[in-house]
Amino acid sequence: MMKSTREAFGETLLELGKENDKIIGLSADLQDSTKAIYFQKEFPDRFFNVGISEQDLIGISAGISSEGFIPFASSFAAFIATRPYDQIRMLLCYNKLNVKLVATHSGLTVGEDGGSAQCLEDIALMRVLPNMKVFQPCDANETKALLRTITKDIGPCYIRLSRADYPIIFDENKVFTIGQGDILSEGNDVSIIATGFMVSKALEVKDTLEKEGFSIRVVNMSSIKPIDKNLIFDCSKKTKGIITIEEHQSFGGLGAAVLEVLSLNPVPVKVIGVNDAFGQSGKAEELLSHYGLDTSSLTYAIRKFINKVKYGSEG
């Protein structure tokens, strides 16, 4: 079964709105695409479309939050993470306001919208801000669990979602805990730590390499900030190396966060992401292949890394 995380957001925001009248929806004229439109149709008096004005989106959300409400502000990642950055920094993070930023259409899988709309820098931008939490769920069911958890948490957070459909990994009973990763498979050769769509790719790579006799641990790291330091240390102790995979620049994202944790406990680490480049227009799977994030390319790179850390050879 396949389902986009933006669809799960729309469905869950509507459910949460029925349960809690303090929840307010906002959009910068993209509620149809982000699926916040489900909430808008049910609760028109609790929804604000501010137009194509992301700075106003954050400023209005900040004011609503200061009155005790829980605003969910949604837009494309390329817009909500970059255009109102000063407002996010000074209004939300500096004042620790309880605003939930929901960024859909992140990464390369936006596809034909092209490089200007494929945000590959947002994890780095959000992760560096004091008081900001950063999350990227791996499927629709985890998205629902995440949204329920952060509704009860106080403070600003950034939730990175997709346009593309993701394979379902967790069942509907999934519980999300802030700052905690999930071990999806055990192994002792290497650990693959992935986030978002790349978690399903990591599982595909694992299945291929296990047939070749390799033993792969796969970790879903949907809580990027705060990150699960204990689990990362555990991976460094129980496997011979760590690979991180993300649909994001290889600088400043999940890989950088893992390396920061391991700075005092170094092990071989390979960071796989987009290598200092913008995206471009194309079908999602074509783009993943072009940037080395498709299953075949990942399998090749990870096999090579395992052979190097296990046998001292890249053959």
The residue annotated as part of the active site, out of 54, 121, 142, 247, is: 54
Give the integer Cα–Cα distance in Å for 259 and 225.
13
Task: Tell me whether strands 223-225 and 269-274 are parallel, antiparallel or unpaired.
Answer: unpaired
Name 254's Cβ contacts closer than 8 Å, sequence gap at least 6: 123, 193, 194, 195, 221, 224, 244, 245, 246, 248, 273
Q: How far apart are the first and last CA of the chain?
A: 36
Task: Tell me whether strands 2-4 and 133-135 are parallel, antiparallel or unpaired.
Answer: unpaired
CB–CB of 48/24 below 8 Å? yes
Task: Tell me whether strands 100-104 and 157-160 are parallel, antiparallel or unpaired.
Answer: parallel
Q: 226: cis peptide before it, omega within 30°?
A: yes
Name 106's Cβ contacts closer than 8 Å, sequence gap at least 6: 76, 77, 119, 122, 136, 160, 161, 162, 196, 247
159 DSSP β-pair partners: 102, 135
7 catalytically annotated: no
Give the integer Cα–Cα distance in Å for 9 and 159.
10
Amino acid at 70: I
Q: Which residues are catalytic?
A: 54
